[in-house]
Structure 1
Amino acid sequence: MYEFFLADSLEKVFADTRPRPMLDCEIKSLQGARFAFQLVYHAQPFSDCDWMQRFTVSVSGAPGKVRIRELGLVPSDLPALDQRDCGYLRTAPGLYPDVLLPYDGYIRPIPGQWRSLFIDFVVDADARGLYDLTVTLEPEATSRLGNGQLVQRRAGVDVCKLNLCMDVVTAKLPKQTLLVTQWFHADCLANYYHCEVFSEHYWQILDSFITFAAQEAGMNMLLTPIFTPPLDTRSGGERTTVQLVGINREGDRYTFDWKHLRRWCALCKKAGIEHLEMAHLFTQWGALFTPKIVATVDGMEEKIFGWHVSATDPRYRTFLEQFIPSLRTVLEQEGFGSDRIRFHISDEPNLDQLSDYLKAKAQVVDLLDGCIVMDALSNFEFYADKVVEHPVCASDHIKPFLDNNVANLWVYYCVAQGVKVPNRFFSMPSSRNRIMGILMYLYNIEGFLHWGYNFYNSQYSVEAIDPYRVTDCRLAFPSGDAFIVYPGKDYAPLSSLRNEVQVHGFEDMQCLMLLEELTSRDFVDALLHEHLSYRLSFDRYPLDACYLLQVRNRCLEEIKKHL
């Protein structure tokens, strides 16, 4: 016996567990919004099912161009850390649904396994009213085996049709105002695809992954390797050089070649990236050293800064005095003025490193006058003492920032945020990923940062890894922390279930903002809490996907009423 049914986009379809079917087949959407659902399929073991039987899948009636992808399983040796709560789906090593693979035209149910197709589309800008969607599964009359043998369709296997009804509200999804950056690791792309940095193949790969970031991952800000970012690198080690700026040194004088940076800026503008963040000016976790910077000295390439040069070295100050003003001028010329760039001192400093952070900051702060300087951190003291005026706060340490009404607050999470707060690990329910949109709306968050758009290295970048085989950076971080896209064939990134769900969360935020424009903030606040006995916070929120789906539908109902 074959079984086919629809499930919502928040369901994670594990091979060994029957997923929850879609509860409501009448859904609402805005013009220009994304809608996604899953087609779940299964063949009963030890039955009369023919495991060679294939089905073609088609979707009709959708108010948008339909895309069908296969939800693939990937391995996880480390799904979760010991520090965790009860809000995980499972924590045992195994195969987890995540990568969205190209659909090759048919499905073949495997006896005893649950699988799914991920089906989505962007609602047409001129769509309005009711649409009846039909998913049709048609058994192939014959299937050809690898050896050329033809297998005939078995009697009794019929066409299956599954239906949805969509009501498109006559209002456009507003433009995303949330600033979003997920760190772009250019070196990982060069390593994975075995291409020379700055070759035409390399630029083609960058173009593809930058375009996907802007158009498919909700990113409007991009980490820019003016020099190789000093991130997740072991002390004394280094990552593949991807420095965009050519540097020539003669004594204490520096000249710069900006051609690669200008080309990078052009790719970003073409893709729709509106903001750039510069690579950190000092090493991670303490700001004790300078980043790796290479230059031509007496005709030879030389590593002029790195682990061998302290953060406070006068030679680095001399370099920065010439580099930063020239950099700012070039960025301005390329359309990225002071309001469209961000600088970093050092990533994730703690209180024990406060003194060193201040010394590093003193090297450059006057050169960054008029620019926004932001860093990821957990300690409120950095903001209270005006050490960091634009904090990017860890979600599990955000309460004092909120209690003190910090303006223009950003939020981030990573490996350490695995208890109570949202995250996007393989092992967590998708609702725990998507809820961030509602929470960021509710607490007026300006920006979201994540360190892993495409980190395909082991911890500390000791070696490159294959993200289809190693999803936890060699037992360092829970699977799902280090990257949200996979490197596909022909230099094309492949999305993940987590990426799709996260973007839906960003759109939740946009829908709530539209409703606020039509009503009031108090009205939207009441809608978000109308069936809750507690106030939503970053460490307390519904884990049930139904809450998120109901909030989206309720929001659209109210938008329709108030237009």
Structure 2
Amino acid sequence: MSMGKAVSEKYSMLLVNSMEKVFTDKEPLYFPERCAFQGFFGENVSFQVAIRADIRRKEKVRLKVYSDLKPYIKVRRVALVPSEYPAHSEKDGNYLKCTPGLYPDLLRELDEDGETAILPEIWQSFWIDVDITDKIKGGIYPVRVCVLKYDDTVEIEVTAKVEVIPIPLPKLTLYHTEWFHSDCLADYYKVSPFSEEHWEILKNFIEVYVKRGGNTILTPVFTPPLDTEVGGERTTVQLVGITESDGKYKFDFNKLERWIALCSEAGIEYFEIAHFFTQWGAGFAPKIMVEKNGKLIRRFGWDTPAVGEYTVFLEQFIPALKTFLSEKNLLDKTFFHISDEPRQEHLKEYEKARLSVLPYLKDCKIIDALSDYKFYEKGLVDIPVCAINHIEPFIENNVSHLWSYYCTSQYELVSNRFFSMPLARTRIYGVLVYKFGMEGILHWGFNFYNNQFSKKAINPYEITDCEGSFPSGDAFLVYPGEGGKPEESIRLMVMNEAMQDYRVLKLLEAKIGKTAVIELLEEGLSEPLTFFEYPKSQEYLIMLRRKISRILTSAEKV
């Protein structure tokens, strides 16, 4: 009898791994070669059980796990969420499905008793996490996952095996930022920005952000000018208090100090200061609130040219901010932005804005997301964050300190994380950024809960595509759960696995060198790995990890 697959009078149940998306209308296959799970100290190991019941009406059951690893196990239901816009019309063959409908994405906690509803004649899946810590002895541990009837008898069960490899992973050395939208949390939960309620919500979300691999965070010294309609504005989330009198500015960094303390306690190591100029060209100042003559006013915004009166403000603000960061020993761990995603037609505006602040940022790290190599070639961006479908000129020219990003525009051939894509396409990103030596990775949407251009807030449980603006999965990795606590997605968990792969590769590199690691990555492939050509199968990632485990465990025994 198979341990990973079972059939009873009413139920079918089988193991699937974390890269499988279980749709209601498609029977998943049980692949024994995909379901031998293993993890190092410091790693989260995830797998799923898929269940179908031939019943007339839903049944309440309890899902229970029995294992010596139980103290480290969490079980969640993979819930379906709607997508009206799962993919652009331009796409490649590496999509699962592209029709509007319900997609498996949201991870829902079960109650303490494991009670859940099994619905009739559809496939459902449940997500099992194992946090591998150094409190666990190395070895192979059975994990029984059982469906219990109301009288506690077992209706059906499967057993997974989880191998704990007693070797600690190094911490993530890659800078990893997923833009954190503080205003969206205030808007969704209907709390005042930086009220005590808001601080508690921020804490909850930042802790999950760090737990799943984020180590660099977008910091709203003033409201970030991102995805904002020209002439419009987003909810004010400005950490720095500003007072103006006779053309002189005074700055209150108390909120910023609290932000840094909260983030640092959660495990954030690096801070990314909000952009100094508006998106798509750096033509204007962001919204900045200032107290003047006893009144709080919008002092700068879309009606303020990038260079001029705003420059006078920045001449005072940037040195004061740098002094504050230096006192906190954070200046060398801080990144600054000019403007997001400038294009060729913005070159002169961008250059003008950059030159206006460069005297005050000469000793600082300046990064910006872009696609055009000419910006870098002209010396306009110190640390380019390049879109992965435009990254080849940067790689060919051996650009140092190179970062990468993807978003709604990276829909053909390259890695991404839309609902409509296989999860292996998301996870391969860790291997690719390792091979090409990316210094950091950036994504614009950890928790963006607005429509395009932030004209209004949305409910991400109902609208997952920013009202038909971006394919579902682009704008956020977490959902705003009850009580101000985030609910995770399967995409977040697999993105975390990509970061774990990166850490494993760095561990291997310390043993055998990067050249040998790349040879291992490309062993058996018909051509070298690139951001456009890479293995599409789950098996590649699974077998790669097993090969690395064998090498590392053999090295430990020597």
Judge same fold: TM > 0.5, yes or no. Answer: yes
Corresponding letter in the other structure for 1:185: H
**Of 217, 225, 234, which aligns to 2:229?**
234
Q: Does 1:40 align with 2:40?
A: no
Q: SS of the residue aligned with 1:507?
A: helix
Greater shift in the superposed pair: 11-20 or 184-193: 11-20
Tell me how far 1:235 sits from its aligned partner.
0.5
**Of 155, 162, 167, which aligns to 2:163?**
167
**Of 499, 508, 511, which aligns to 2:504?**
511
Q: Hey, what does 1:14 align to over in structure 2?
A: 23
Q: Where do residues 22-37 of structure 1 align in structure 2 (5 Å cutoff)?
A: 22-24=31-33, 25-37=35-47
Q: Does 1:3 align with 2:12?
A: yes
Q: Is the 8 A contact 1:99 1:495 kept in 2?
A: yes
| Distance of 1:52 and 1:102 partners within structure 2 | 18
Corresponding letter in the other structure for 2:516: F
Greater shift in the superposed pair: 202-211 or 130-139: 130-139
Tell me how far 1:513 sits from its aligned partner.
1.1
Q: Is the 8 A contact 2:57 2:119 kept in 1?
A: no
Q: Where do residues 199-214 of structure 1 align in structure 2 (5 Å cutoff)?
A: 199-214=195-210
| Distance of 2:403 and 2:337 partners within structure 1 | 14
Corresponding letter in the other structure for 1:31: F
Q: SS of the residue aligned with 2:72?
A: coil
Q: Hey, what does 1:357 align to over in structure 2?
A: 350
Q: Is the 8 A contact 1:289 1:306 kept in 2?
A: yes
| Distance of 1:413 and 1:420 partners within structure 2 | 12
Deviations 1:476-504 (A, max 9, x none): 00000000111111111111100000000
Corresponding letter in the other structure for 1:26: A
Q: Hey, what does 1:148 align to over in structure 2?
A: none
Corresponding letter in the other structure for 2:82: P
Tell me how far 1:161 sits from its aligned partner.
3.2
Q: Does 1:522 align with 2:515?
A: yes
Q: Does 1:75 align with 2:82?
A: yes
| Distance of 1:282 and 1:53 partners within structure 2 | 54
| Distance of 2:276 and 2:57 partners within structure 1 | 61
Q: SS of the residue aligned with 1:231?
A: coil
Q: Hey, what does 2:241 align to over in structure 1?
A: 246
Q: Where do residues 93-112 of structure 1 align in structure 2 (5 Å cutoff)?
A: 93-104=100-111, 105-112=114-121
Q: Where do residues 79-478 of structure 1 align in structure 2 (5 Å cutoff)?
A: 79-104=86-111, 105-141=114-150, 158-215=154-211, 217-313=212-308, 315-337=309-331, 339-478=332-471
Aligned length: 544
Q: Is the 8 A contact 1:265 1:334 kept in 2?
A: no
Tell me how far 1:110 sits from its aligned partner.
1.7
Q: SS of the residue aligned with 2:158?
A: strand
| Distance of 2:146 and 2:462 partners within structure 1 | 32
Q: Is the 8 A contact 1:27 1:553 kept in 2?
A: no
Corresponding letter in the other structure for 2:159: N
Tell me how far 1:138 sits from its aligned partner.
4.0
Q: SS of the residue aligned with 2:456?
A: coil
Q: SS of the residue aligned with 2:80?
A: strand
Tell me how far 1:90 sits from its aligned partner.
0.4
Q: SS of the residue aligned with 1:108?
A: strand
Q: Hey, what does 2:6 align to over in structure 1?
A: none
| Distance of 1:381 and 1:63 partners within structure 2 | 54
| Distance of 1:250 and 1:50 partners within structure 2 | 70
Tell me how far 1:518 sits from its aligned partner.
1.1
Q: Is the 8 A contact 1:487 1:493 kept in 2?
A: yes
Deviations 1:286-344 (A, max 9, x none): 1111100010111111111100110112x11111111111111112223312x200000
Q: After TM superposition, where is structure 1 displaced by more than 6 Å over at least 4 residues in a row? A: none
Tell me how far 1:522 sits from its aligned partner.
2.4
Q: SS of the residue aligned with 1:54?
A: strand
Tell me how far 1:206 sits from its aligned partner.
1.1
Greater shift in the superposed pair: 260-269 or 59-68: 59-68
Q: SS of the residue aligned with 1:463?
A: coil
Q: Hey, what does 1:150 align to over in structure 2?
A: none
Corresponding letter in the other structure for 2:288: I
**Of 534, 547, 558, which aligns to 1:541?**
534
Q: Is the 8 A contact 1:230 1:284 kept in 2?
A: yes
Deviations 1:162-208 (A, max 9, x none): 22233322311111101100111111000000001121101111111
Corresponding letter in the other structure for 2:511: L
Change in Cα spacing, 1:121 to 1:239, as seen in structure 2 (3 Å) is: same
Q: Is the 8 A contact 1:58 1:135 kept in 2?
A: yes
Q: Is the 8 A contact 2:92 2:412 kept in 1?
A: yes
| Distance of 1:28 and 1:485 partners within structure 2 | 26
Corresponding letter in the other structure for 2:439: E
Deviations 1:121-142 (A, max 9, x none): 2112143432222223143235
Q: SS of the residue aligned with 1:431?
A: helix
| Distance of 1:247 and 1:488 partners within structure 2 | 33
Q: Hey, what does 1:553 align to over in structure 2?
A: 546
Change in Cα spacing, 1:53 to 1:263, as seen in structure 2 (3 Å) is: closer
Corresponding letter in the other structure for 1:210: I
Q: SS of the residue aligned with 2:59?
A: coil
| Distance of 1:181 and 1:75 partners within structure 2 | 27
- Length-normalised TM-score, structure 2: 0.95
| Distance of 1:319 and 1:3 partners within structure 2 | 66
Q: Hey, what does 1:54 align to over in structure 2?
A: 61
Q: Does 1:496 align with 2:489?
A: yes
Q: Is the 8 A contact 1:457 1:465 kept in 2?
A: yes
Q: SS of the residue aligned with 1:119?
A: strand
Q: SS of the residue aligned with 2:115?
A: coil
| Distance of 2:233 and 2:507 partners within structure 1 | 46
Structure 1 unmatched runs, 5+: 143-152
Q: SS of the residue aligned with 1:107?
A: strand
Q: Is the 8 A contact 1:63 1:127 kept in 2?
A: no
Deviations 1:427-462 (A, max 9, x none): 000001000000011111110100001000000000
Q: Where do residues 477-488 of structure 1 align in structure 2 (5 Å cutoff)?
A: 477-488=470-481
| Distance of 1:198 and 1:167 partners within structure 2 | 44
Q: Is the 8 A contact 1:136 1:159 kept in 2?
A: no
Greater shift in the superposed pair: 110-119 or 521-530: 521-530
Change in Cα spacing, 1:523 to 1:64, as seen in structure 2 (3 Å) is: farther
Corresponding letter in the other structure for 1:409: L
| Distance of 2:71 and 2:173 partners within structure 1 | 24
Structure 2 unmatched runs, 5+: 1-9
Tell me how far 1:158 sits from its aligned partner.
4.4
Change in Cα spacing, 1:308 to 1:50, as seen in structure 2 (3 Å) is: closer
